[in-house]
Amino acid sequence: MISKLTVHEMFAMCEHQMLVIANWLAHCPFFQKLEPSERYRMFKVVWNVWRRFERVEMSVQMFGKDTPACDMKFAISEKYYVTPQLFIDISKITDWPMSPMNGLFRNFVRKLFDQTAVQLGHLEPSSMEMAYMLSQLCWQLAAQALQGKVMEIAEIQQEELANNLHHHYLQIKRRSNYAGRLVKLMSVVNIVKRIQLERKTTIQLAKVFDFFNVELSDPDFFEG
């Protein structure tokens, strides 16, 4: 358990997870059908929300489903976990008072954990189901943000995902009546999308009020 993170430490963890997510996306045939510039734009849209959702699921696997958000243990990497008392030292990138702004962004992780962890714990999604949820999350958000060819391919990809999941339930799980479970899986995805949109609005407000005192080379990476 760690109780404090610097911005540099946090960015180092993000960099590692970026590589993991990029590798995951690179194995998707439909992602490869996009132009390089479209793949880059899609990656920027989805990497952060993918990372947070996957970490919630990992935390549930590691620490159990019945941990309330006030006592949550959140696995931020393969080596470290944090609690709601985590302090992130962002003094290098802002002139604003630390405490209220720390709480503002940290509350989104707590809300995500609080609203999805129990459901994930009861559902105990298989690796196939988790891949399905992550894929649905990524392609829906990318289609909404980027439109055009990304939206066209997203529709084909989602049909392919549905077929693969159907085969998974029928041929591997020997389960023909899975509609109710699918509704619950997509309910979790929709919660993650809603919280993601709320967080994006907060990021935009932070920009309006000049919360950050640094200039990012590619600010789109941190829009979500």
Each residue of 160-218: pLDDT tens digit? 999 989 988 988 888 888 889 999 999 999 999 999 888 888 777 777 777 777 777 77
Predicted local distance difference test score (pLDDT) of residue 70: 56
Q: List pLDDT tens digits, range 81-94.
A: 888 788 888 888 88
Predicted local distance difference test score (pLDDT) of residue 142: 94
**Residue 67: pLDDT above 60?**
no
- Cα separation, 54 vs 104, in Å, equals 21
Dihedral in degrees, nearest 10, Cα atoms 130, 134, 136, 138: 180
Under 8 Å CB-to-CB from 9, ≥6 apart: which residues? none
Predicted local distance difference test score (pLDDT) of residue 143: 94
Predicted local distance difference test score (pLDDT) of residue 150: 93
Predicted local distance difference test score (pLDDT) of residue 47: 92
pTM recorded for the entire structure: 0.85
- Cα separation, 31 vs 36, in Å, equals 10
Q: Which amino acid is at 103?
A: G
Predicted local distance difference test score (pLDDT) of residue 102: 57
Q: List pLDDT tens digits, range 22-31.
A: 999 999 999 9
**Residue 99: pLDDT above 60?**
no
Predicted local distance difference test score (pLDDT) of residue 221: 72
Q: Would you state the structure tokens that stand for residue 103, as one six-digit string?
A: 């709480």
In terms of Cα–Cα distance, which of 125, 135, 191 is closest to 160? Answer: 135
Dihedral in degrees, nearest 10, Cα atoms 82, 84, 85, 87: 70
**Residue 134: pLDDT above 90?**
yes
Give 212's strand partners: 94
Q: List pLDDT tens digits, range 114-132.
A: 889 889 988 999 999 999 9
- Cα separation, 113 vs 203, in Å, equals 19
**Residue 69: pLDDT above 70?**
no
How confident is the prediction for the chain on average, in pLDDT? 85
Q: Would you state the structure tokens that stand for residue 12, as one six-digit string?
A: 């180092």
- Cα separation, 109 vs 84, in Å, equals 9
Predicted local distance difference test score (pLDDT) of residue 73: 86
**Residue 101: pLDDT above 80?**
no
Predicted local distance difference test score (pLDDT) of residue 175: 83
| Confidence class for position 98, pLDDT limits 50, 70, 90 | low
One DSSP character per residue, 68-109 reads -GGG--EE-SSS-EE-TT-EEE-TTTB-S-HHHHHHHHHHHH
Domains, in order of start, for the chain: 2-209 (1.10.565.10)
**Residue 59: pLDDT above 70?**
yes
Give 4's strand partners: 87
Q: Which residue has the tokens 């950050």?
A: 212
| Confidence class for position 219, pLDDT limits 50, 70, 90 | low
